[in-house]
Structure formats: C-alpha cells, structure tokens
Chain A
Amino acid sequence: MEELFIGFTSVTWQHLVMYLVGVALIVLAIVKQYEPMLLLPIGFGAILVNLPLETVWEHAGAPGFLKVLYEAGIATELFPLLIFVAVGAMIDFGPLFKNPYMIFFGAAAQFGIFATMIVATLVGFDLREAASIGIIGAADGPTSIFVANIFAPKLLGPISVAAYSYMSLVPLIQPPVIKALTTKAERRIHMSYHESNSPKWLKVMFPIAVTMISGFVAPISVPLIGSLMFGNLIRESGVLERLSQTAQNELAYLVTLLLGITIGSSMKAADFLTWKTLLIMGMGLVAFVFDTAGGVLFAKAVNLFLPKGRKVNPMIGACGISAFPMSGRIVQKMANDEEKGNIILMHAIGSNVSGQLGSVIAGGMVLALVPLVAGL
C-alpha cells in the first residue's frame, strides 16, 4: 500500500523549493519574456528532475531520457558547440570590418570574467569553480556551459541560469553602469560613419584565419571558435544559403530546446539548493557590471590619446560584451535619448560582434591557463 503513495511520501521541502524555482523561471520566460527560449525549458527541466524518484534521470538502473540527453549533449559538449554553429551563421562581421579598431572593445569588455574569477576565489571558491563562475561574464551561454562543464560540472545549473538570466537583464544592468562612468558630454559624442562594402573574399577568409590563429594561440579554444567560425563560413560562402538558413533556424531552435531542458535537468535539489547558488547568482551580476565598466573605462582611456573630433563615444565600450545584438541596441537608444539623431549603431554593433569573438577567446584562455597554474 505504501508503494502506491511513494510519489507523495518521497517529496521533501527541497523538492518543493525547486518546483517554485522552476515555476519562477517559466513565469519569467512567459510574463517578462526574459530569454524565453531557454528559461522556459530550463524551468520545466528543473521541475521534471525533482519529481519523486527522479525517473526522468534514472529508473530501475536504466538511464532516463534527460540523463541520455545530458550525457550525449552536455557531457560531450555537443549542444553548446552546435549552438555556436548556429550563432556563427547569424553573425555579420561587416560592421567590424568597417571599423576594425572596435575589436579592442571586445577584448576590454571581457574584464568582468577575470575580475569575477578573483572575487570568487576571495569568497571561498576553488580556482576551477571560480573560473567557471567568472565565465558568466562572457555573456555567452554556450561558452559558460562549455567551461563550467569542464571545470565545475556540479555548478552547471546555477551558472547556466545566471548566465542566461543576466543576458536577458542587460537592458537593466548596463545603462546605470554606463551613466555612472560617463558624463553627459561623453554620451553625446558623435562618431562619423562611412558606408562601404567589405570585399567578399575578406568575409570568407576571416572565419578561416580566425580559426587558424586561435588554433595556434590557444589550441584548446578550437572547438568553440571553430564551430562559431564554421557557421560563419557557411553564411559568408554565398553558396550554402540553405545550410545557412538551416543553421540559423532549425538547428538553433532544435538544439536550444534540447539544451534548455537538459540544463534544467542538472538542477537537482541537492546540488542546486546550496549557499553556492546564491553566491553564483550574485557574482554573475558582478561579472556583467565589471564587463560593462571595463569596456567603458577602456574607451575613456583610448579617448585620452585621440585628437578632438575623433574621440569615441565611450558607451560603445559597453557593447564589447557578447550579448548580441541587445547591448548594441541599448547603447544606440541611450545615445539617441541623450541627443536626438546621434547615430552610433554601426559602431556599437561592430563592438558587439567583437564581444562575441572576445568572449570565446577569453573562454579559451581560461581553459588553457587554469590547468597550467593549478597543475591539473
């Protein structure tokens, strides 16, 4: 008789909390539309995996469907890499080719990754965990998942939730930081823009060159950068339009769906309901703030060396984070709010696509350097 009610009798208060967490994520996805494509599957996955007996994970010695997906797509890193193929097919590096110096803002805005890593060690995380937490500052879900899965798989759930939540909150996080670090006059700086078309051979050569250079500098980053650039090469080749469209649509949607619910399945109560989760959520915010500050302050530093009339609007430094194209659009909106008709969108988008490159390279650097100093 007891067996009939095992579903009720095996529920703990921790499970109940996780159902609330799952429902909260689903509500955020539906009502607030915060990254709905990810937060909804993550929320539902969190509910599924915490239901009595965890049958979606394992039952009677056999793996459940979420465990099969986890081992096939997350443990092997396959899902984040497939997402990168899709993202690569969506990126147009054209705005960067027109203003190549924007690429340095994509480097400066990775500051949050490293600053947060230091903070995380100060609050008690070990180096591998701290590196995984810092990478939330990549503002790039697949990179966060890729790195966390290697260095701290137990923290994959909270790190993924933090990364995707804060990416959706970029419109709320960035403006106050930018305003705190810039003057009204700086936010009103105009930047000239000359329309010109980049040669096709440059667009085709770029993904190949980037992949090869990354392979020489940080070989461990090749799966990340290689899949991103493969998607971009498909797009720019001009002869694989159907594959490009498939990568941007069907592949992106299908893998996002599987990635979300599988990430949700990593949120078991025993792993998720710890003080570490709260700290990770807090430090994720710190990472985004440091990223934004790093980009803006770098732009201000660059302005010290530029003649009057050629100074950059320091707000574009904030677009160096990888949240594409949201960050670029926010900065354009801020520029327009400060002064009607101030158009810096193309510079902002150039900086923003650089952030995509910067975050992946930063992920590769972390993957290469942490084992080196930790002696793993």
Chain B
Amino acid sequence: MERFTEWLKYGDDTVKALGVSAGGLIGVFATLGVFFLVIWLSDKIGRKAE
C-alpha cells in the first residue's frame, strides 16, 4: 500500500486523481457496506427479539 502511494506521488496530477478516485470509490462502497451490515444485523436482531 505504501509503495503504491509512493508511486502515485511521483505521477502527474491525472495519475494521482485516478488513484484518489479508485481509493475513494472503494472507500465509499466499503464504508456504506459497513453501514448496510449495521442496519441488516440490527434488523435480524430486532426480529429475533420480537
């Protein structure tokens, strides 16, 4: 990971933007994916409790 960011630092701005875009999109999907799990698990637990 560190090697990749180091490599990006030496790229031009478009290459850096590509790196930020890839990382950003993965990050957004992963974070919202965790939120999905929170809601989904809460729903399951709630139904069991009922």
Contacts and interface: CB of A to CB of B under 8 A. Distances in A.
Q: Do A and B come from one complex?
A: yes
Interface stretch (A75-83, A201-209, A276-284): A201-209
B24 A369 contact: yes
Contact of B14 (A118, A368, A374): A118
A106 B32 contact: yes
Interface residues of B, number: 31
Given A100-B39, A213-B38, A373-B19, A121 B14 contact: yes
Interface size class of A (residues with CB under 8 A): 35 or more
A138 B39 CA distance: 23
A327 to B, nearest CB: 17
A110 B33 CA distance: 14
A268 B39 CA distance: 46
A122 interface: yes
A87 to B, nearest CB: 17
B13 A107 contact: no
Interface of B: 5, 8-9, 12-14, 16-21, 23-25, 27-36, 38-40, 42-43, 46
User: Which 8 pairs between the two chains have the least Cβ-Cβ distance?
Assistant: A114-B21, A365-B24, A100-B39, A121-B13, A121-B14, A373-B8, A365-B27, A121-B17
Given A213-B31, A362-B24, A373-B20, 4 more contacts: A113-B24, A131-B17, A369-B23, A370-B20
24 contacts: A100-B40, A103-B39, A104-B33, A106-B32, A107-B29, A107-B33, A110-B28, A114-B17, A114-B24, A121-B12, A127-B13, A127-B17, A131-B20, A202-B46, A205-B42, A210-B38, A213-B34, A217-B34, A358-B28, A361-B32, A362-B24, A365-B23, A366-B24, A373-B9
